[in-house]
Amino acid sequence: MAFITLISDYGHNSPYVASLKGLIYSKIPNATIIDISHSIIPHDILQTAYILKNSSLNFPEQTINIISVDTSYTKHKQFLIIYHNKQYYIGADNGVFSLLFNEKPEEVYAVNENLISQEDLFPDKNIFISLAAKIIHGENLNSFTTPSKINNIKQNVSPVVEENLIRGSIVFIDGYGNAITNISRKLFENKIKNRFAIFYRRKDKISYISKNYSDVSNGTELALFNENGMLEIAMNTGKAGQLLGLNEGGQIFIEFYD
């Protein structure tokens, strides 16, 4: 069985997702299609990388992940196929691949130019699906790609660590309004002393790490480490992002006290 995931910024009020799926089933009738998200902020590769990174690790080996965000060939000069951790990733060299992996990916291939039209406005459908079909049908990658490297490098924003302070940022607001930060449990536990305060706004703070969203009363903000070990600011039965005025890119400060 062939597993293919789709992530895009198409939204749901358009024919584009249906067009992708229709062509996939035409070329790969036995495919199982997994919709990761079609609500990516347009051209937002940071959000794309975050969502794909935290979901693809659960997919079966040999899954093919098609990235339909910011796919202009004339702009980015390369379409890449990356094989890493026994999965394939297909997309434009727009910086998303430099954000997607914690380490250097194992195999990087550039799609041969003879397969690409400079005027193609929908390469996700017209090229990426054909590439997925070639992989699933067992064609050798060397017959339609060339070993390459990621040229467009974007830097993940890392927390700033000082003696008694961690300065992090919000990297994603999920569908529940939870504000997920780039501060890991490991980083927090390496710094923790007797007391701490998490400042999510200038004067608003949380001084306790919850284990569950229901540890506080309804409508109350909390801090916890999510399934992926990242600190998030949330609200029991409420949208923390909206109600607390939290946005992607906003700063989070943790002060530590003896």
Residue 258 has pLDDT above 90, yes or no: no
pLDDT, residue 193, reads 77
pLDDT, residue 201, reads 84
* CA–CA gap between residue 106 and residue 100 (Å, rounded): 13
Residue 154 in any domain: the answer is no
| % the chain with pLDDT above 90 | 86
Q: What is the CATH number of the domain that holds 53?
A: 3.40.50.10790
Is 171 found in the same domain as 135?
no
Is 72 found in the same domain as 30?
yes
Is 206 found in the same domain as 92?
no
Is 113 found in the same domain as 31?
yes
Mean pLDDT across the chain:
94
Residue 202 has pLDDT above 80, yes or no: no
Residue 250 has pLDDT above 80, yes or no: yes
Average pLDDT over residues 229-243: 94
pLDDT, residue 127, reads 96
Q: Could you give the dihedral angle defined by the CA atoms of residues 169, 174, 176 and 181, in that order, rounded to the nearest 10 degrees? A: -20
Render pLDDT for 142-201 as a digit per residue (tens, 0 to 9).
999 999 999 999 887 789 999 899 999 999 999 999 999 999 999 999 887 789 999 998
Note the pTM of the prediction, 2 decimals. Answer: 0.87
Residue 1 has pLDDT above 90, yes or no: no
Contact 76, 152 (CB under 8 A): yes
Label residue 245 left, alpha or beta by phi (over 0 means left) and psi (-120 to 50 means alpha): left
Render pLDDT for 22-79 as a digit per residue (tens, 0 to 9).
999 999 999 999 999 999 999 999 999 999 999 998 999 999 999 999 999 999 999 9
> How many independent structural domains does the chain possess?
2
Residue 5 has pLDDT above 80, yes or no: yes
pLDDT, residue 102, reads 84
Average pLDDT over residues 135-143: 96
Is 196 found in the same domain as 115?
no
pLDDT, residue 191, reads 84
Is 121 found in the same domain as 206?
no
Average pLDDT over residues 202-231: 93
* Other beta carbons less than 10 A from residue 72's beta carbon: 14
pLDDT, residue 23, reads 97
Domain that holds residue 220: 160-257
Render pLDDT for 36-52 as a digit per residue (tens, 0 to 9).
999 999 999 999 999 99
Residue partners of 139: CB distance under 8 A and separation at least 6: none
| % the chain with pLDDT above 70 | 100
